[in-house]
């Protein structure tokens, strides 16, 4: 099967798209695109076997019904520069192949992430994993930025001092902070990239990794626009209900139609309340899977 060319992807190959203060994402290479997904699903050869509408319909059917293997035929390789703490969240997705810069072989650069003042906030009162949605006052945020820079500068000067003494690089690096930038080549198929994006584009994901996910998605869209459109429709803008949530939805629809609110199949469960009700209301408001 010939290598299919995505014209929009060719225009952005090897271009750096900035993320955060010093990071970036580059699309280094790709293999396949929308046509490859269609061809592998039909186990056919050549182009033009079906119309654009039929091909788009097949992609939609595959994604909607979770027939994932055709999407695994599309491979994307990215060069990413990112803070270590983002990398450690990212690496939890174990379905990719990567090569990361090594502090055992290379002297690390003096590159550290400092959040913008609008992103400096207190710990959330109702989310153990995240920050409050309200930023600190500018003066307080500037003081936090200064504290970050002071700690980073101290750590890097100590690191370079050890390097200059001839201490092994693999030891000299161990006190460098999580804000240090690292780089890697990250290769992943389209199915597993969609899984990554479904989690990391969620509003509850940490903002820093979400910004990287947004750039990855836009670059993937250059490679496989119809696949990405279907993913956006069914996953990013879709929603999945639990049994209890589905019963609650049927109750509300029946009430809105002026009918009885009880007696639906599987009913008899108590109405949603507390956190369960909050999650359900958020799904109705945002259309995001939770």
Positions annotated as catalytic residues are: 200
Q: What φ, ψ does residue 261 adopt, rounded to 5°?
A: -95, -10
Which residues lie across from 24 on neighbouring strands?
A: 18, 81
Classified as helix, coil or strand, 182 is strand
C-alpha dist (Å) from residue 46 to 40, 220, 277? 11, 23, 51
Residue 181 and residue 290: Cα distance in Å, rounded? 31
Exposed, middle or buried, 282 (CB in 10 Å: 0-12/13-18/19+)?
A: middle
On whether the CB atoms of residues 264 and 243 are closer than 8 A, the answer is: no
Classified as helix, coil or strand, 110 is coil
Annotate 190-252 with DSSP letters as a single string.
HHHHHHHHHHHTSTTS-HHHHHHHHHHHHHHHHH-HHHHHHHIIIIIT-----HHHHHHHHHH
Backbone torsion region of residue 146, taken as left when φ is above 0, otherwise alpha when ψ lies between -120 and 50, otherwise beta: alpha
């Amino acid at each position: 099967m010939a290598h299919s060319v995505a014209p929009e992807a060719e225009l952005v190959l090897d271009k750096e798209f900035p993320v955060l203060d010093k990071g970036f994402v580059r699309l280094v290479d790709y293999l396949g695109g929308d046509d490859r997904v269609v061809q592998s699903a039909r186990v056919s050869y050549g182009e033009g076997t079906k119309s654009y509408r039929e091909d788009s319909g097949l992609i939609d059917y595959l994604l909607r019904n979770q027939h994932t293997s055709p999407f695994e035929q599309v491979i994307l390789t990215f060069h990413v520069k990112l803070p270590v703490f983002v990398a450690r969240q990212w690496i939890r997705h174990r379905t990719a192949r990567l090569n990361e810069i090594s502090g055992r072989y290379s002297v690390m650069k003096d590159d550290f992430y400092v959040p913008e003042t609008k992103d400096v906030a207190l710990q959330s009162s109702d989310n153990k994993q995240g920050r409050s949605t309200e930023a600190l006052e500018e003066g307080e945020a500037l003081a936090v930025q200064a504290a970050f820079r002071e700690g980073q500068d101290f750590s890097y000067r100590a690191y370079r001092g050890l390097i200059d003494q001839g201490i092994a690089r693999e030891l000299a690096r161990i006190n460098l902070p999580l804000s240090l930038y690292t780089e890697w080549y990250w290769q992943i198929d389209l199915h597993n990239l969609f899984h990554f994006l479904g989690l990391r584009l969620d509003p509850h994901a940490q903002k820093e990794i979400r910004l990287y996910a947004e750039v990855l998605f836009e670059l993937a869209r250059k490679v496989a626009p119809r696949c990405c459109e279907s993913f956006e429709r069914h996953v990013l803008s879709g929603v999945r209900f639990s049994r209890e949530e589905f019963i609650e939805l049927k109750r509300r629809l029946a009430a809105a139609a002026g009918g009885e609110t009880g007696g639906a199949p599987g009913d008899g469960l108590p109405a949603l309340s507390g956190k369960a009700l909050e999650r359900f209301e958020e799904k109705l408001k945002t259309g995001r899977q939770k």
